[in-house]
Structure 1
Amino acid sequence: MTTSTRPWKIPESVLVVIHTPALDVLLIRRADANEFWQSVTGSKDVADEPLALTAAREVGEETGIQCGDGTPLARRLVDWQLSNIYEIYPRWRARYEPGVTHNTEHLFGLCVPERLTPTLAPREHTDWKWLPYREAADACFSPSNAEAILLLPEFAR
């Protein structure tokens, strides 16, 4: 447990590529790193939280788009059954238990019917944009996020 009231982040997360049938991708800009554009990402709240629940929760928290069980978009949230292990950027390591240096990120896609207007959590993200998938991949700061976006045509079939 951290010295504050916040627990350590769990080094297992999701990345959700939100896209349209035309393969336009929603990117959001991080509030704590203004130059960083990304897809929805977020860690599990508890170790045994199902990944699909983490993905739906994070999409709702970060964009206001509801895709959890019982919503019209629930069936459009797809686990790509792929994961990346990457080194946590030093600027964010203090959020994790001492000695944790790597995170396992699980990839999901969410196909929305059209370019929706997200409702951002202002403490987390300051701006958003929709881009064709290749441009979105080029705009991402994270190599794993860019690679996930470039896989979109394969998973959107």
Structure 2
Amino acid sequence: MHDPEHGDGTSLADRPHRRRAVDNQRRSAASADQVHRAMVAVRERTPTGWHAAARQHIDGALHAFEVEPVSGCIDAVACLIPPRCGFCGWRVQVGTYRIGFAVYRDGGARVASFATAGDALGAAIRAVGKEIAGTAHR
């Protein structure tokens, strides 16, 4: 059967796989564009003693910013994840050697979303800062 999206022949069983692959490529490219457009704002707002870098952890994955303290005093990192289908804003995911968690809205069990990457950066720094403070007391 002719596949109009790829210009070649394909089986009926292979078409859904190809469509998912194309959708994944589009989402990855869109996230790369969003991260690239936000890069200057994030770097300008990154405080002294912190490091922010654009990352794509594995080929084909979504792009994000990784934010961490430069000092290396704790194994904690925050990821700023750009908006995508079903999410209206930037999200923050924090990971440590023990656990990973999303940043949630106050008073509810909904993942927080932020209008800009800069706003998400502020939330990420606060969340990682709490992890640093919590580790100092253990």
TM-score, structure 1 length as denominator?
Answer: 0.29
Q: Point out which structure has higher relative CO (alpha carbons under 8 A, 6+ apart).
A: 1
- Greater per-residue strand proportion: 1
Which of the two has higher C-alpha Rg?
2
TM-score, structure 2 length as denominator?
Answer: 0.31
- Greater per-residue helix proportion: 2
